[in-house]
Amino acid sequence: MERRRIGSLAVTVVGLGCNNFGTRLDAGGTAAVVHAALDAGIDFFDTADIYGKGKSEEFLGRALGSRRAEVVLATKFGMEMDERRKGAAPKYVHQALEDSLRRLGTDRVDLYQLHRPDPEVPIAETLDALDELVRAGKVREIGCSQFTVEQLREAERAAGERRARFVSVQNQYSLLHREPERGVLAECERAGLAFIPFFPLANGLLTGKYRQGRPVPEGTRLASGRRSTELLTEENLATVERLIEYAESRGRTLLELAFAWLLARPVVASVIAGATSPAQVQANASAGAWQLTPQEIAEIDAIVPARV
């Protein structure tokens, strides 16, 4: 599988998002998915302390076991774990990492990411703490998530002469959510940042399991709830049908199209789709092989114009 760079790290262009671990999957289910990913050649695993309130990290660390050295391990901090454990203040940055290391059963995190900006803490103070962790050898690279262009530039200015500076940004991006095209992607190219899209399959809408005029499959992520109402609109479902038709005309699936369109941008380092079964992992791993031509990209963009 092709690899791309996140700072000094080389990662497979298909990664594994671990937000299902500890919520939709128990320890056994997590192990099955992790082992399927490893067997498929995936070496980039992205989790967060908040996923399953720590269970994702715990289950992931347990599943990796002796194969920890084979993977690039990414996690995040900053979301509210409880009233005391949240944010990006320097003291908590150190505590959050120690907690994550313990749950993951490792002595280092390869990519440590601020899960979202903390308006109450100057970014320079957070970077000071992260720099200390890098110098201590507990973190190899640092990244951020849900940052705007202005926030990325502020972090770049604040980094100054520190060894540690953000090498990546993780924002929502897919064929159905193209907001990063308003500036963040261009900023990544300018600053040499890797871009990691989250929700690359639009909560499953781009897998092909949700079809116009058909019942929503039971037990799926969008079977009920607010996200179902937001995403399963007639407009989105009609767009999905057009994308399926286009993919099938090329002998491909909608899943392959969703991955290929994201990976057509060199600034995208890895597509970190989640999975709840080994079969989903194998499908995701195979989906990263289609390389779109400039003409195909233009044709897809004609079907789904940027909607920001």
The 10s digit of each residue's pLDDT in 232-290 is 888 889 999 999 999 999 999 999 999 999 999 999 999 999 999 999 999 999 999 99
Q: What are the chain's domains?
A: 3-208+255-292 (3.20.20.100)
- In this structure, are residues 115 and 50 in contact, taking their beta carbons and an 8 Å threshold? yes
pLDDT at position 29, please? Answer: 98
**3-class DSSP assignment, residue 103:** helix
Measured CA to CA, the distance from residue 187 to residue 195 in angstroms comes to 10
Give the residue carrying structure tokens 């990290």. 57
Residues with catalytic function: 51
pLDDT at position 218, please? Answer: 73
- pLDDT-based confidence at 182, cuts 50/70/90? very high
- Above 60 in pLDDT, residue 76? yes
- Above 70 in pLDDT, residue 225? no
pLDDT at position 224, please? Answer: 62
On the 0-12 / 13-18 / 19+ scale of CB atoms within 10 A, 185 is buried
